[in-house]
């Protein structure tokens, strides 16, 4: 009886701040990917148009005719899949982070404007957000991508346009909760103008929820980029992102499963890591979950 009573109490005490292990673990995974994306292509020179037909479709862990070990195998034109994935990681993460920053910026600006000034502007922006939420995000992205055509910049634009709503909603909620706080009134009674209040009172309060949403969102963005590329609406074929690599192995799944499977697994692990990171950050920073 005592044991069952003591056990949770001890766990609570050692817990300290929630999600520490998960934050460190998922950050480590993300950092591995980031290192691979930054340094991988420097170590393994990747040439997107090189062809080496003697070594095509080698299975993972086999040796090329020159005797090199190919850890992840080769694809149908004999390119090293590991090098291709590292190059793909670079492209996918660049797109993910850029789209995240852009959509975060749009969402932050719209959210602060809507929440702080309220009134008709709030109604306008939030109805716009409602309309966009009612429309499937990937469908909207496909529509815009089809109109703009495939290029890295266009993918970033497309993903930002479809991703700002979550940021705007969360920021607006936080602004609404903050702007009626007494210290905002106190700042106002010292003669502060709107910009000063937004900068010193509103934005710092939005920081934690913004980070949480960003961590949860970046996985979605990278996944959406892969989906677009898979459908041929994302990055051009000459820029090997994970999506295009997966798509290129689609016809060979029966004979060379690794061309599609390994980038897919890589993608899944990164997205899960970001998801875990986002959840752990939310557990730590969301006051509604505190003390549970």
Partner 1 sequence: MEPLLSVRDLRVRFGAVTAVDGVSFDVLPGETVAVVGESGSGKSVTMQAVMGLLPRGAEVTGSIVYDGRDLLARPLAETRKLCGTELAMIFQDPLSSLNPVFRVGRQIAESLVRRRGASRKERRAHAVELMRRVGIPDPERRVDEFPHQFSGGMRQRAMIAMALSLGPRLLIADEPTTALDVTVQAQIMRLLADLRRETGMGLALITHDLGVVAGVADRVVLMYAGRVVETGTTREVYDHRAHPYTEGLLASVPDDGGRADRLVPIPGQPPNPLRPPGGCPFHPRCRYVVDDCRTDAPVLVELAGRPADHRAACHRPEAVGA
- The C-alpha atoms of residue 71 and residue 83 are separated, in whole angstroms, by 10
**What are the distances in angstroms from CA 239 to CA 9, 93, 130, 145?**
54, 13, 34, 16
Virtual torsion, Cα 14, 17, 21, 23, nearest 10 deg: 180
Q: Closer to partner 1 at the Cβ: 82 or 184?
A: 184
Residue closer to partner 1 by CB (options 118, 137) is: 118
Counted residue by residue, the chain has a size of 292
Tokens of 228: 């677009």
Nearer to partner 1, 60 or 118 (CB): 118
Give me the least distance between CB of 256 and partner 1, in Å please. Answer: 55
Tell me whether residue 33 or residue 285 sits nearer to partner 1 (CB atom): 285
Rounded to a whole number of angstroms, the minimum distance from the CB of residue 126 to partner 1 is 17
CA-to-CA dists, residue 207 to 167, 213, 235, angstroms:
11, 10, 32
* Minimal distance, residue 238 CB to partner 1, in Å: 47
DSSP 45: -
Nearer to partner 1, 158 or 281 (CB): 281
CA atoms of 179 and 155, how far apart (whole Å): 36
**E strand or H helix that includes residue 179:** helix 152-179
Binding site for partner 1 (CB under 8 A): 118-119, 181-183, 185-193, 196, 200-201, 204-205
Helix (H, G, I), strand (E, B) or coil at 291: coil
Give min distance, CB of 186 to partner 1, in A: 4
Helix (H) or strand (E) holding 62: strand 62-63
Least distance in angstroms from the C-beta of 182 to partner 1: 4
Q: Residue 28 or 186: which CB sits closer to partner 1?
A: 186
């Amino acid at each position: 009886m005592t044991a069952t009573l003591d056990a949770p109490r001890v766990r609570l005490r050692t817990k300290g701040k929630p999600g520490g292990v998960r934050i460190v673990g998922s950050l480590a995974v993300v950092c591995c990917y980031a290192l691979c994306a930054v340094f991988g292509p420097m170590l393994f020179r990747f040439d997107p148009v090189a062809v080496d037909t003697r070594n095509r479709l080698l299975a993972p862990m086999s040796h090329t005719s020159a005797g090199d070990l190919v850890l992840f195998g080769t694809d149908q034109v004999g390119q090293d899949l590991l090098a291709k994935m590292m190059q793909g990681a670079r492209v996918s993460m660049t797109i993910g982070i850029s789209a995240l920053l852009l959509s975060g910026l749009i969402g932050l600006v719209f959210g602060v404007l809507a929440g702080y000034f309220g009134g008709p502007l709030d109604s306008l922006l939030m109805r716009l957000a409602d309309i966009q939420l009612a429309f499937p995000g990937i469908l909207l992205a496909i529509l815009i991508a089809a109109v703009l055509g495939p290029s890295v910049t266009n993918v970033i634009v497309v993903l930002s346009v479809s991703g700002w709503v979550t940021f705007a909603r969360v920021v607006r909620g936080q602004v609404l909760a903050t702007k009626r706080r007494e210290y905002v009134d106190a700042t106002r009674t010292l003669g502060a103008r709107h910009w000063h209040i937004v900068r010193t009172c509103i934005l710092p309060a939005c920081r934690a929820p913004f980070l949480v949403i960003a961590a949860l969102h970046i996985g979605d963005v990278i996944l959406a980029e892969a989906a677009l590329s898979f459908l041929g609406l994302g990055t051009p074929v000459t820029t090997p992102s994970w999506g295009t690599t997966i798509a290129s192995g689609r016809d060979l799944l029966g004979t060379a499963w690794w061309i599609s499977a390994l980038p897919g697994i890589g993608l899944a692990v990164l997205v899960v890591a970001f998801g875990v990171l986002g959840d752990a950050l939310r557990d730590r920073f969301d006051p509604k979950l505190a003390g549970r």
